[in-house]
Amino acid sequence: MKLLQLQKRAMALAGTVMTAYLLFHMLCNLSFFSATAFEQFYAFYNQAWVRWPLLGVVVLSLLIHIKAALHIRIKNSKARQVGYKKHDKLHVPAPLVSLSIVLLLLFILIHIGQTMLIDTSAVKAAMIDWFSSGWMLLFYLAGLFILAMHLQHSLINVLQTLGISSKTYSLAIISTVVFLTLGFASVPLFIWANA
């Protein structure tokens, strides 16, 4: 198999692992609305044998995803002599796409950094502390918006690469992305509204 093909597969696989992690993370965060489940879950999650291997898998997937994406981008720009015709309904300029990816990466790194600093025996209190600030709420909503755009675009691309372009699948992807984004956003919005 050609290197480019392998890189595409690695990128899609790493992206799938991260999407699965995101769904898991969002569903676990929804336990915030229960009186005890959130604390119980994070007490389990913060055991060294759970937290660090899981974080290792996420960071490794992120690195594989970025490395493959860069490789594919460089290859494609070398191979393409003439630019693509702009036939998309909504054409987003390439520099804006690059900027959004850098911002998404920054958001993820800042978020992981923040979780490293909290008292892991009081995760619920830490969440309430974070999102009592309107600025923090805005930062997370902006991060979630960029994440939603990235996921929607890339998951549909993966389907097209697999030769699937059905409307049903596209609708399933959009519904999943909306569910994921609203699920994540609900906790900060709830805390901020009740602060």
Which is closer to ligand HEM, CB of 12 or CB of 131? 131
Which is closer to ligand HEM, CB of 4 or CB of 149? 149
Which is closer to ligand HEM, CB of 4 or CB of 25? 25
Cα gap 130→137, rounded to integer Å: 8
Buried b / exposed e across 122-160, counting CB within 10 Å, b at 16+?
ebeebbbebbeeeebbebbeebbebbbbbbbebbbebbe
Nearest position to ligand HEM, beta carbon: 115
Smallest gap, in angstroms, from Cβ of residue 160 to ligand HEM?
23
Contact 18, 151 (CB under 8 A): no
Smallest gap, in angstroms, from Cβ of residue 83 to ligand HEM?
31
Sign of CA dihedral 163, 169, 175, 179: negative
Smallest gap, in angstroms, from Cβ of residue 43 to ligand HEM?
9
Which is closer to ligand HEM, CB of 4 or CB of 153? 153
Give residues in contact with ligand HEM (CB under 6 A).
22, 25, 29, 42, 46, 51, 55, 58, 108, 111-112, 115-116, 120, 123, 127, 140, 147, 184, 187-188
For tokens 């993966």, the residue is 158
